[in-house]
Structure 1
Amino acid sequence: MDDKKLDLNLLLALEALLAELNVTRAAKRLNLSQPALSAQLARLRDIFGDQLLIPTSRGVSATAMAKEIQVPLRHALDQMRGLVSRARSFNPASAKIAFGISASDYMQVAVLLPFVTKISAAAPDVQVMVRAVYTPKADLERGDVDVAFLQSSEVEGTEFRYLDVLRERYVGIARKHSLSPGGMPMDRFVAARHAIVSPRAEGFRGPTDDALAAMGLTRKVAVAVSSFVMMIEAVAGSDLIALAPERLVARYADRVDTFEPPLPVAGFRIAMVWHERTHDHPGRAWLRSQLAGFCAQN
């Protein structure tokens, strides 16, 4: 599934279609024309790689995949509606408030930089302090930050509230104009000198090395750095290659070329995390709704 093609309107359309099992009634519920909703259904089918709804004599019937995602979809949209409803009493145009957000360099450059630029026009007196992720859970407990962005695996099962907002995949990167026709075959991939991210200086090995080892292969890791931004800069000025998050790489399209990794590489999910005591605060709810909406569209 290509997450970049998703937007909230498509998910709302899917929710209505699964609830009504009738394109005409779902279109009326959404205040859309039937052709417009049919076009959205076509996009949804392309995104999910599944028919989702199959025509029958009584309307449409949900496929097995559609039935599986109906309840999680409703829960996710209910969370979004809750965020919006709690934010209604907050007026960003006149509010004077400071927010704290902690995030990795990846999130800061790929998401938060364009986000803070966008909201400055709608909320001219709102201040946003963006800080690096060092002790995010402690920062949330102390109230030093209002929102932290962490990999979903780090917060599942904790006492914090969270909402998955991004699904990211890795792409290969190399110095501009250094890739030969045909991309990056496995033999060239393992022979190249690699850069990796090791935030805590844990060594020169990562999940990709484990995947290669399962295939009886090894690669040459020449450089380990603390951040994705530094890694991309290193690749842009050398013969190193690396795997990096696709959204971040898009910001450096003029510096690096991309290739599809020659082996499956698991991506990751990013969650927006907040403390229970700020859950009902109108201003913080507004911030979360803005962040969630922005992530859904980018």
Structure 2
Amino acid sequence: MTDRPLLSRLDLNLLVSLDALLTERSVTRAAEQLRLSQPALSASLARLRRHFDDPLLVRRGNSYELTALATRLAVHTSTALESARRVFESQTAWVPAQSEREFSIYGSDYGFVTVGAIASRLAEERAPGVRLRFLLHTPSIVEDAVTKLRSADGMIIPHGPLSDLPHQDLWNDDWMALVAEESAVGEVLTMEEMAAHPWVLTYQSRSSFTSAAREVQQLGIDTHAEVVLESFLPVPHFVAETDRIGLIQASLVPRMVRAGGVRAVRLPFESTPLVNALWWHPAHTADPEHAWMRDLFAEAGRMVHAAASPGTPGDAAG
């Protein structure tokens, strides 16, 4: 009960001013962003400083820096603003074709160029005013997914890193290897070749890794990674004209092979298939607009699955 009287005395418009000030770190630029006069925003800053009993912005030479408190507030402020926006944008009846809602989705470039690209085309056809914002995730974002998904609409990521969150399975995929076009490796890697060649790996850390790379290690193969990337699309550029081996999802192989310089080969073991899914925070489950978005991605996932080549790696490469 003690929090309610305090909240009722606050001017929640100050949250907008606070977010602009913490983002721009300048009264002048924040005022321009909000289309306010500098005196008006300076007055808001003064009220915020009294409320927090902290200067928030301190001058360092010719610029301003955030105080320790302001740095902590920056994360919470953007989340609070996004939550407030969602509250006041909610409607009793939602018509997709008339909506201008933005849905924000975390993921990797792999998810964006496959299911994300198709979902964007479906949205353009059915709800031209709706916007999809795709945000690259990082290992730290995945580790803090529960918090991040309070203010975002979803995260496209395979089963494994996340659990205990609502999700919609989208499509299954397999792992293949990339080698240079001129490589002596045959259509199927051997265990000896896997041990002898250097590697290009993705997301290689204690808390972030691909399932295929983990399986290779579990086979007792000591992979010597010459390159580690936190994305998938650049992999062929680091494999071409080298003796390196890269691991890549089968649905990305056709576009990578078409670009030239690499070819796809099979792994010498049956890797566990990827089950790609859209994950979201439980708070979004009953939102009809969010449900529409989930259905959109589910349909896009079925289209990715249908488009997957049923042939051999040689067929995909051709």
| TM-score of Structure 1 vs Structure 2, range by shorter chain | 0.5 to 0.7
After TM superposition, list the pairs within 5 Å mapping 1:196-207 onto structure 2.
Answer: 196-200=201-205, 206-207=213-214
One-letter amino acid of the counterpart of residue 136, structure 2: A
Does 1:223 pair with 2:230? no
Letter in 2 for 1:131: L
- The 1:182/1:271 distance shift into structure 2, 3 A limit, reads closer
Q: Distance in 1 between the 2:300 and 2:177 partners?
A: 26
Match of 1:262 in 2: 268
Separation in 1, partners of 2:236, 2:301: 22
Residue equivalent to 2:189: 184
**CA 270–238 in structure 1, closer or farther in 2 if over 3 Å, else same:** same
- TM-aligned CA deviation for residue 263 of structure 1: 2.4
Q: Say which structure, 1 or 2, has more relative contact order (CA 8 Å, 6+ apart).
A: 1
User: Residue 148 of structure 2: which of 131, 139, 153 is its match?
Assistant: 139
Cα pair distance change 1:179/1:114, threshold 3 Å: farther
**Counterparts of 1:120 and 1:203, CA distance in 2:** 33
Does 2:171 align with 1:162?
no
Q: TM-score scaled by structure 2?
A: 0.56
Q: Is the 8 A contact 1:100 1:129 kept in 2?
A: yes
Residue 120 of structure 1: CA displacement?
1.5
Cα distance change of structure 1 residues 102 and 181 upon mapping to structure 2, 3 Å threshold: closer
| Alpha-carbon separation, structure 2, partners of 1:245 and 1:183 | 16
Partner of 1:212: 219
Question: Contact (CA 8 Å) 1:204, 1:223: kept in 2 or not?
Answer: no
Identity in percent: 20
CA RMSD of aligned residues (A): 2.8
Aligned counterpart, 1:286 = 292
Distance 1:230 1:181 in 2: 23
Provide closer, same or farther for how the CA distance between residues 185 and 200 of structure 1 changes in structure 2, counting only shifts above 3 A: closer
Residue pair 1:203, 1:224 contacting (<8 A) in 2 also: no
Following superposition, the deviation at residue 279 of structure 1 comes to 1.6
1:183 and 1:93, CA in 2 relative to 1: closer, same or farther beyond 3 A?
same
Separation in 2, partners of 1:201, 1:95? 42
Partner-residue secondary structure (3-state), 2:179: strand
Residue-pair matches, total: 203
Is the Cα contact below 8 Å between 2:187 and 2:266 reproduced in 1?
Answer: no
How far, CA to CA, are the matches of 1:295 and 1:210 in structure 2?
30
What is the CA–CA distance in structure 2 between the aligned matches of 1:198 and 1:139, rounded to whole Å? Answer: 19
Larger radius of gyration: 2
Name the structure 1 match of 2:10.
none
Q: Deviations over 1:36-93 (max 9, x none)?
A: xxxxxxxxxxxxxxxxxxxxxxxxxxxxxxxxxxxxxxxxxxxxxxxxxxxxx64322
* Distance across 2 between alignment mates of 1:282 and 1:195: 42
> What aligned pairs does 1:1-16 form with structure 2 within 5 A after superposition?
none
Do the aligned partners of 2:168 and 2:279 also contact (CA within 8 Å) in 1?
A: yes
Give the equivalent residue in structure 2 for 1:274: 280
Instruction: State the partner residue of 1:32.
Output: none
- Equivalent pair of 1:179/1:257 in contact (CA under 8 Å): no
| Residues 176, 121 of structure 1: alpha-carbon distance in 2 compared, 3 angstrom cutoff | farther
* CA displacement at 1:241 relative to structure 2: 1.4
Structure 2, gaps ≥5 residues long:
1-92, 305-318
**1:54-73 maps to which residues of 2 (within 5 A)?**
none
Cα deviation for residue 204 of structure 1 reads 11
Structure 1 unaligned blocks of 5 or more: 1-88
Deviation at 1:114, TM superposition (A): 3.2
**CA drift at 1:112:** 0.9
| AA matched with 1:137 | V
Q: Quote how far apart the aligned CAs of 1:268 are.
A: 2.7
Contact 2:176–2:248, Cα closer than 8 Å, also in 1 = yes
